[in-house]
Amino acid sequence: MRIAIVKNAKELGERAFVEIKKVISEKPDAVIGFATGATPVALYEKMADDHKHGGLSYKQVKAFNLDEYVGVDPNGKASFKRFMADTLFSKIDIDPANTDIPNGMAQDLEAECARYSAAIKENPADLQILGIGENGHIAFNEPYTKPDEPTHIALLTASTRAANASAFKDPSLVPQYALTMGINEILTAKRILLLALGERKAQAIYDMIMGRDDTSCPATALRKHPDVTVVLDREAASLLTIKEWEKGSAQAEESAEAPATEQTEEAEQTPVAEQTEEAEQTPVAEQPAETEQAEEQPEVREEAAESAPEAEAETEEQVEETSAPVEEEVAESGPPTDEVPTYPEEQEEVAATYEDAGEEAEVEDLTVQEEPAQENRGKKKKKHRR
């Protein structure tokens, strides 16, 4: 689950549009699941504006909506079908024949649910847009809804009806029932984009991400999905503790973008504790490139191997002084990976020896070659302590 925090609704629309653009650029005939309500309006405005100025085309896109009220005229202003037409579909070049939404005015609602469920199964979404209710509902799947229930008739809670009352002239006119896509049907989408605005959604967002994993908050089901992007404003994210997440994410991105050669130079100049952190975060995919570079310099490795014992003797005292802090830093940062060296200071000295030889050394390869020397050094330490 990826979390993006923005300042306001406009930024939310712009960030969410990045996901829309990515999907349609990859697949012009993508299937997109749409949500209704106030939250996605900023996204739909961005989509309409982009299209107006020669951006994306939606001619081949298929659209499915999450839900619809029971007993509301599809052409009435309170219906979700009318909402989608006024807010988005009339402003882009999508084919009306490619849009589908449950019919809350159907004479046989059970048959309509079966029809819609079959249509979803035949056309799994490439991207599903979601909002979230104050009680954690997604679509109109209220708390304690069974996840495996397909498109069904949902009984709306009092809090849900109150939250949607602004679309009706009188709150008493808000329907008690709606047709809604099921939770597991939502999870069949390849990607999910959940949007939330305002402090009133903060508790639901907290429960979705940090709360109990059960049906009391239907949105917790999204934890099971492999590709979920959550875009929030600061108020909706106010109950989350994310400073450490942001720090870790920023460090991971920096490590992923850094070229392999720059990592070697930084390792020679960075303090011991920082080297350990960077070594833990370095993606495995970047290391083979460095290994190839080291294999092209066999003569340098031989010279380094001969000078390694001297470097060990010079740094033995330093290793004893700094080994405890290094172990503490590793404990705080998480379990070390296979790529993290045991004695970062020795690698720094050996890397300096390589520089004297006029060539660049690879820390990972040296660690393998120095294992015998490290064992000998351990024996020397034990003798000294006696």
Active site residue 137: yes
- The 8-class DSSP code of residue 155 comes to E
Exactly one of 19, 65, 67, 312 is catalytic; name it: 67
Task: Give dist(CA 301, CA 357) in Å, integer.
Answer: 10
Rounded to an integer, what distance in angstroms lies between the CA atom of residue 83 and that of residue 75?
9
Residues forming a β-bridge with 69: 178
Give residue 94's identity as a one-letter amino acid code: I
- Residue ranges of alpha helices (H) inside the chain are 9-26, 41-52, 80-87, 109-122, 158-163, 183-186, 202-210, 243-257, 260-269, 272-281, 287-295, 298-333, 344-356, 363-369, 371-385
Task: Assess whether 214 carries a catalytic annotation.
Answer: no
Catalytic residue among 19, 112, 126, 142: 142
151 with 184: CB under 8 angstroms? no
Active-site pick, 65, 68, 112, 137: 137
Q: CB-based contacts of 102: which residues, under 8 Å, 6+ apart?
A: 65, 67, 68, 112, 113, 116, 151, 179, 180, 181
Question: Does residue 67 carry a catalytic annotation?
Answer: yes
Give the Cα separation of 374 and 371 in Å (integer).
5
Marked catalytic residue, from 65, 135, 141, 164? 135
Q: 36: phi > 0 → left, psi -120 to 50 → alpha, else beta; which? A: beta
CA distance 350 to 363: 8
Q: State the catalytic residues.
A: 67, 135, 137, 142
